[in-house]
Structure formats: C-alpha cells, structure tokens
Amino acid sequence: MPRRAFPSATLAAAVRAHFGLSQVELAAFIGTSRSHLAEVEAGRKQLGPGPDQRLQVLARQLPPPDGHGPVPPAFTAAEAPAPTKATATAAAAAEAAEGLSALRQRLARCQWLRTRLRFETSHRHQPGQARHQRRLWAVQVLGPLLAAPLPQPDWLAPGGPTLPLPPYPRATPDAPRDTHWLQGLALRLAATPAPLPPAAAALARARLAGLDAEIQVLTAAIVEFVKQEV
C-alpha cells in the first residue's frame, strides 16, 4: 500500500464505504464484534493485531493512493443492472411460494383457533348462568342436611319413644346414600366449566364470526394462487 490517507480509527469506515459493507459484515470478516468495530470507527478503541491484519486485506483493494485496487465506477440507481428474465421469473416464483406458504400457515392457525373456541363455548353454554349458580348453592345447602341421619326412636323405652321424629327436610332416612348422591353432583359441577357471562359469550361469538370470515378469505386466496400456478 503506497500510503494510508486515513487514520486507523477511520480506515474501517473507508473500507466499509468503498465496498458497501455493513458493520456486521465487516466485523465478521476481520474477526471482531460489531460493537467493537463501532468503537474503533468512533476512535475510542483500536483493533487488535489479528483483526487489523484482516482489515489490511480489504484496505489494499482501495483505489490509489490508499491502495492498489481499481477505481470504482460511478454507481447510480439508474445504472443498476436490470435483472434478467430468468432471474425475474425465479424471484417471482420464490415470492409466490413464500406468499402461498404464509397463507396456508395462517389458515391452519385460524382453523385451530376456531376449533378450540367452539369447543370452549359449547362446553360453557349449558347449563345457564342462573341454573349453574343454583346447583352450586344446592350443594352447599344440602350438604349438612343430608349428612344428618334421622334419629332412631327407642320403641322399647317405657311409655314409648321419647324423641319425636324431626320434620322433613331436617334429616334424611338414608344419610350415606344421600351423601354419596350429593358428592356425585359436586364432582359433576367441579368438572363443568362455569357458563360464560352474556358479555363474554357475545365476544366469543364475535371472534368465531371473525375467524369464519378470515378462513373463507384465506381459502379463496389459496385457491386463486393454485390456479395461477397451474
């Protein structure tokens, strides 16, 4: 190299500007990190021997008097080489394939969301909100009542039974059976999701309608894409 017109802090920037490289690209070439290269270009740090030697490989390709490389042409947007027909066709095909893949992925996602939402709403539609609350209340109220069996009167006591039978429903003639029945009701309630409130149910219906509409549009778009490919 005849001479270095750039201080070491800005040589990397000159190389990047000459070849149109980003800091990430040049950092990968010389073997350092992008942040370290940024510090070097700002004049706050220096490159080590290894990265500096790698930088000189590209710096020697700068045009004279700073290197031995050729002078670059005057690049302008108007003079950019136009893509060939084959390149344009390949790019269009790749773009179409990528678009079709994105449509199919979104369609699969919408179909999964619709299936899950329908399952959730169908299992939370019945019983109604009021009936569900009434069933919960029944389990709480009937628990202590059905657990208390009727006292057995002592028919052999002198003068007859001393304890009168309590009136219904303060006791049950078969506490184990009735308690088992109530436990089954409580288990079914625990396994049943609470019904959706009216506002939440309306939002769920709106989401389902939106998913149905999006699925319809995506399906039509995919069919159109396939027709164009054929």
> How far is the C-alpha of 210 from the C-alpha of 140, rounded, in Å?
41
Q: What is the CATH number of the domain that holds 29?
A: 1.10.260.40
pLDDT of residue 215: 93
> How far is the C-alpha of 92 from the C-alpha of 88, rounded, in Å?
6
Number of structural domains found in the chain: 2
Q: Among residues 51, 53, 19, which one has the least CA distance to residue 37?
A: 51
Q: Are residues 32 and 139 in the same domain?
A: no
Residue 172 lies in a domain: yes
Residue 153 lies in a domain: no
Rounded to 5 degrees, what angle do the CA atoms 210, 213, 219 make? 135
Q: Among residues 136, 135, 117, 137, which one has the least CA distance to residue 196?
A: 117
Residue 159 lies in a domain: no
Q: Are residues 112 and 53 in the same domain?
A: no
Q: Are residues 42 and 113 in the same domain?
A: no
Q: Are residues 47 and 109 in the same domain?
A: no
State the residue for tokens 């219904």: 168
Provide the H-helix boundaries in 31-84.
34-41, 49-59
> How far is the C-alpha of 130 from the C-alpha of 138, rounded, in Å?
12
Q: Are residues 24 and 127 in the same domain?
A: no
Is pLDDT above 70 for 128?
Answer: no
pLDDT of residue 90: 74
pLDDT of residue 216: 93
Residue 109 lies in a domain: yes
Mean pLDDT for the chain? Answer: 77
Q: Are residues 50 and 93 in the same domain?
A: no
> How far is the C-alpha of 210 from the C-alpha of 66, rounded, in Å?
64
Is pLDDT above 70 for 2?
Answer: no
Higher pLDDT, 92 or 44: 44
Residue 64 lies in a domain: no
Supply the range of the domain harboring residue 16: 8-59
Average pLDDT over residues 143-150: 74
Residue 77 lies in a domain: no
pLDDT of residue 96: 77
Rounded to 5 degrees, what angle do the CA atoms 172, 174, 177 make? 120
Least confident of 62-66, 88-92, 206-210: 88-92
Q: Are residues 55 and 103 in the same domain?
A: no
In which band, very low, low, confident or very high, does the pLDDT at 162 lie, cut at 50, 70 and 90? low
